[in-house]
Amino acid sequence: MTFDGPDKDAEVVLRLSGVEAGYGRIRALNGIDLEVRRGQIVTLLGANGAGKTTTLKTISGLVRLTAGKVSFEGQDLAQMRASDIARLGVAHVPEGRRILRGLTVRENLELGAFTVRDAALRRSRMQEVFRLFPILDRRQHQDGSLLSGGEQQMLAMGRALMQGPKVLLLDEPSMGLAPKLVLDTMRIIKRLNQEGATILLVEQNARLALRLAHYGYVLEGGTIRMQGPAETLRADTSIVQAYLGD
Amino acid sequence: MTPRDTASDRLRDRIAARFESPALRWGGIGLILVLMAVLPAALGQYATVIMTNALLYVVLALGLNVVVGFAGLLDLGYAAFFAVGAYTIGILTLDFGVNFWLALPVAVLAAAIAGVIIGGPTLRLRSDYLAIVTLGFGEIVRFSARNLAITGKASGLSGIGQPWLFGWHIATPTDFYFVFCALAILAVVVSLRLENSRLGRAWLYVRHDEDVAEAMGINRVAVKLAAYVTGAIFAAIGGAFFAANLGAISPESFSFTQSVLILMAVILGGMGKIPGVILGAFIVILGPELLRNLGELRLMVFAVMLLLIMLFRPSGIWPKRGVRS
């Protein structure tokens, strides 16, 4: 299955409208509106503390929203438990990868398919992950936390793919990786997308993210400051300098 | 800090490897069963009573291990569930004339309900809150037992009858020893089944990283509550037979020290590892007995021993085998 590029009129799978959320009294999001269409890579850019990670956590239910609406395939996620949201097909690859220490690569992958009761399906998903990331196959019996940063990122993505997700939320996949591994990671994201995955990507490295994505949003202080097709954002040097740093 | 492969680790692995061969494993299990069967005749009544107590602690420690070792929750008031089991049996058989075997499921149910009441709201919070709430719960249960008329206030309940089982009157210390053997074996089998179940894997994941587990579709509150209630049920069954064995119970049997002792058995042996927890239970009961001829010094010597064990083997005497890299 290959995609010839994003269909601009593809169905909106994920929609946030007027989303507000925070931690205790501190408000991190002040009304976020965004859309992700099937087959797209949408990137969320902005400085530290702009609310990128909180946006992802609000979608996946790890942070409760205080106002607004998150709808996924027409269903309202606002009052749902994170575990139920995951079961609907939203897979969150958290910041820092969060590989379980002391468990093997294989066991970490099995966690991803916890909700899949069909053993044959679990096996075929694992084969699929091993096809995408052959290094995980070779290291399947090693402690996942002893892998290199890049391998851990593959494991975190593989674990999310084991869920059989409809949308992947990726939080700073390039964080802490050597430059070459950053490029590898970006290539993997592109490939996942070409094979049909819908992706919402949070990145610090704006230039790279905009090269990969179809559409971008720039966050500042918990609100969307700017949005547009990735090539438009990329072409606007003032945006790059003002919001994305260099 | 600790060397990854000490001599004792190798010894443990060698013993464990022995038991991986099915013939030897069944042989080993058979040998343990034979030793358990001949113990009362071989060692006499005093040793039998001590062993009965140790087996009770095996049941309690394995129950607490579900909470602490499997699900990673710190429970400082575990003796409360032990008390709920014991007092339910005492009250139902003495005041209401209910047969022990009918009172037993009620005791289990009472502990499970108490578990839901305490765990339900607290398990939504972070685990340090659970430690504080369970500590308080343990004290509330003990204070209630000491002040309510139905629980016999400070003097407790006495004259609790010994049950009959299909024409067998469970009466002598040896009878109770065999009952506790059966309970301990049951606790081991149930623990093993739980550990390898789907729920057991959910506990493992939640223990490692509850946010990631939740994001992978595991309802962490439900899963933790299941562990907490399972632990409560183990304790209630232990408490029920404890009450029947002694015939008398008092609030002092269910103090904070009791909770700590059970927790010590779990931590000492190696949290989460079933053979380790069994070993830990034997150490906390048999240790002070073996040191009895030291007189007044024995508890101090025992305390120093425990400190040394924790210093040199911080993850327990028989911890989980790590993943090889």
- Residues A91/A45, Cβ–Cβ less than 8 Å: no
Res B324: pLDDT? 38
Rounded to an integer, the average pLDDT of A16-29 is 91
> Taking 60 as the threshold, does the pLDDT of residue A4 lie above it?
no
> Taking 80 as the threshold, does the pLDDT of residue B306 lie above it?
no
Q: DSSP for B7-73, please give it.
A: HHHHHHHHHHHHTTSHHHHHHHHHHHHHHHHHHHHHHHHHHHHHHHHHHHHHHHHHHHHIIIIIS--
Res A107: pLDDT? 93
Indicate the domain borders of chain A: 12-96+165-244
**Cβ contact, residue pair A142, B323, below 8 Å:** yes
Compute the count of residue pairs across chains A and B with CB atoms less than 8 Å apart: 72
Beta strands in B189-311 (DSSP E): 248-249
Q: Is B315 on the interface with A (CB under 8 A)?
A: no
Res B291: pLDDT? 81
Instruction: Lowest mean pLDDT of A4-13, A134-143, A192-201, B266-275, name the range.
Output: A4-13
pLDDT bracket for residue A245 (50, 70, 90): low
pTM attached to this predicted model? 0.86
> Taking 80 as the threshold, does the pLDDT of residue A1 lie above it?
no
Does residue B112 lie in a domain region? yes
CA distance A212 to A231: 10
Res A244: pLDDT? 56
> Taking 70 as the threshold, does the pLDDT of residue A75 lie above it?
yes
Q: Is B265 exposed, middle or buried (0-12, 13-18, 19+ CB in 10 A)?
A: buried
> Taking 80 as the threshold, does the pLDDT of residue A3 lie above it?
no
- Residues A36/A216, Cβ–Cβ less than 8 Å: no
> Taking 60 as the threshold, does the pLDDT of residue B223 lie above it?
yes
Taking residue B18's Cβ as centre, other Cβ atoms within 10 Å add up to 12
3-state secondary structure of B255: coil
Does residue B57 lie in a domain region? yes
> Taking 70 as the threshold, does the pLDDT of residue B8 lie above it?
no
- Residues B61/B280, Cβ–Cβ less than 8 Å: yes
Instruction: Lowest mean pLDDT of A11-20, B183-192, B306-315, name the range.
Output: B306-315
Q: For residue A186, what are the CA distances in angstroms to A157, A241, B14, B75?
A: 12, 22, 46, 45
Range of the domain at B244: 45-312
Please list the residues that pair with A205 across neighbouring strands. Answer: none
Rounded to an integer, the average pLDDT of B285-309 is 80
pLDDT bracket for residue A6 (50, 70, 90): low
Does residue B158 lie in a domain region? yes
Chain A nearest-CA residue for B322: A102
Rounded to an integer, the average pLDDT of B50-64 is 96
Res B270: pLDDT? 77
**Tokens 């939640």 sit at which residue?**
B206
Res A241: pLDDT? 67
- Residues B233/B63, Cβ–Cβ less than 8 Å: yes
> Taking 80 as the threshold, does the pLDDT of residue B313 lie above it?
no
**Cβ contact, residue pair A100, B219, below 8 Å:** no
CA distance A74 to A63: 20
- The closest CB to that of B323, out of A104, A110, A114, belongs to A104
> Taking 70 as the threshold, does the pLDDT of residue A5 lie above it?
no
Res B321: pLDDT? 54
Q: Is B193 on the interface with A (CB under 8 A)?
A: no
- The closest CB to that of A62, out of B202, B211, B218, belongs to B211
pLDDT bracket for residue A8 (50, 70, 90): low
**Cβ contact, residue pair A114, B202, below 8 Å:** yes
Closest to B84 in 3D by CA, of B55, B60, B50: B60
Taking residue B109's Cβ as centre, other Cβ atoms within 10 Å add up to 13
pLDDT (tens digit, 9 = 90+) per residue, A100-140?
A: 988 999 999 999 999 999 999 999 999 999 999 999 999 99
> Taking 50 as the threshold, does the pLDDT of residue B1 lie above it?
no
pLDDT (tens digit, 9 = 90+) per residue, B91-103?
A: 999 989 899 999 9
Give percent of chain A above pLDDT 90. Answer: 66
Rounded to an integer, the average pLDDT of B265-283 is 87
Give the domain CATH number at B288: 1.10.3470
For chain A, positions 57-76, list CB contacts with chain B under 8 A: 60-62
Q: How many domains does chain B have?
A: 1
The architecture CATH gives domain A12-96+165-244: 3-Layer(aba) Sandwich (3.40)
Does residue B17 lie in a domain region? no
Average of per-residue pLDDT values in chain B: 87
3-state secondary structure of B189: helix
Side chain identity at residue B275, one-letter code: P
> Taking 60 as the threshold, does the pLDDT of residue A246 lie above it?
no
Res B104: pLDDT? 96
Res B2: pLDDT? 42
Q: List the single best residue of A54, A60, A83 to mutate versus B (max B Cβ within 10 A).
A: A83
3-state secondary structure of A44: strand
- The closest CB to that of A100, out of B205, B217, B219, belongs to B205
Side chain identity at residue B260, one-letter code: V
Res A178: pLDDT? 87
> Taking 90 as the threshold, does the pLDDT of residue B219 lie above it?
yes
Q: For residue B287, what are the CA distances in angstroms to A47, A59, B45, B50, B105?
A: 59, 54, 18, 11, 33
- Residues A174/A182, Cβ–Cβ less than 8 Å: yes
On chain B, the residues whose CB falls within 8 A of the CB of A87 are 217
Closest-CA distance of chain A to residue B288, Å: 35
Does residue B153 lie in a domain region? yes
The dihedral over CA atoms of A17, A171, A53, A125, expressed in degrees to the nearest 10, equals 60
Q: What is the ipTM of this complex?
A: 0.85
**Cβ contact, residue pair B217, A98, below 8 Å:** no
- Residues B243/B89, Cβ–Cβ less than 8 Å: yes
> Taking 50 as the threshold, does the pLDDT of residue A2 lie above it?
no
Does residue B40 lie in a domain region? no
> Taking 50 as the threshold, does the pLDDT of residue B69 lie above it?
yes
Does residue B284 lie in a domain region? yes
pLDDT (tens digit, 9 = 90+) per residue, B22-44?
A: 777 888 889 989 998 888 888 88
Q: Is A110 on the interface with B (CB under 8 A)?
A: yes
Res B23: pLDDT? 78
Taking residue B296's Cβ as centre, other Cβ atoms within 10 Å add up to 6
pLDDT bracket for residue B166 (50, 70, 90): confident
Instruction: Lowest mean pLDDT of B7-16, B47-56, B167-176, B256-265, name the range.
Output: B7-16
Q: Which two tokens stand for residue A212?
A: 């990969």
Give percent of chain B above pLDDT 90. Answer: 48
Give percent of chain B above pLDDT 70. Answer: 92
Whats the size of chain B, residue-wise?
325
**C-alpha gyration radius of chain B:** 20
- Residues A162/A129, Cβ–Cβ less than 8 Å: yes
Please list the residues that pair with A227 across neighbouring strands. Answer: A217
